[in-house]
Structure 1
Amino acid sequence: VINLVRQEITSARAEALAARNQIEIARSELASAENGLREDTERSRNNLGRPIEVLNSLSLLGGARVNVIAALLRYDQAQFRLFVALGSPPPPLEPPQENLPPPPVTTPLHTPLPVAGHPFKLGFE
């Protein structure tokens, strides 16, 4: 049993370290995509490049942003697995309280949610 626990902790720690490395890779990919977009936009403004190059750079930038978010998610999940492997399971969910107010009326968002102040730099601030 002890070896199984050690193996689980070692595996969870390795996953967390690998996920942290993936964040750095994704962030460098994001920086490269931002630089590429900046360069392609400048060339297009000076009539030295084609508009399709700017669109391609925008597509690459969008993919890089998604990769950063996915890497952060994988890191958080790996950290949680390590937390549980070390003997700290999540607290049980509390049953809902009685006499709750009715749920709010759902309306679609008219503006995007703010990103400024998020603890991670995602690149869209």
Structure 2
Amino acid sequence: PSAGPKVSVHKISGRKVGLTWFPVPVELLHGFIRNFTIFYITPDHSTERVTVPGQALGYTLEDLPPGNYDIFMQANTDAGAGAAGPKARVHIGSEEVSIVLYAALPLILTSLALVLMACLAQSK
């Protein structure tokens, strides 16, 4: 293909990112799409890739550590890989990773306060 798919990024929750894209226009295909390759550059600057079937129009990246990610795609035909599409950027914040901590912290503090009150009442 002469052009890559334009990927649209949306957060699903926490460490999950949903990706959707539109088909490459027919006049730019130069063959039948066999599959897509999704590339994402991680916060430590390594490049990961995922291959999805040619009929797919969406994918979910899961368990992403905190940081900034650049995501782009290529369409692949029998002739080979086409041009890369434009990059999209998404940020996974560290606060989204520690949501369990926010839920557990009040329970821990309440338990600690009850134990402290029981110890004080016992010593009198």
State whether TM-score is above 0.5: no
Give the number of the structure whose residues are more often strand, by fraction.
2
Q: TM-score, normalised by structure 2?
A: 0.28
Q: Which has the larger radius of gyration?
A: 2
Q: TM-score, normalised by structure 1?
A: 0.28
Give the number of the structure whose residues are more often helix, by fraction.
1
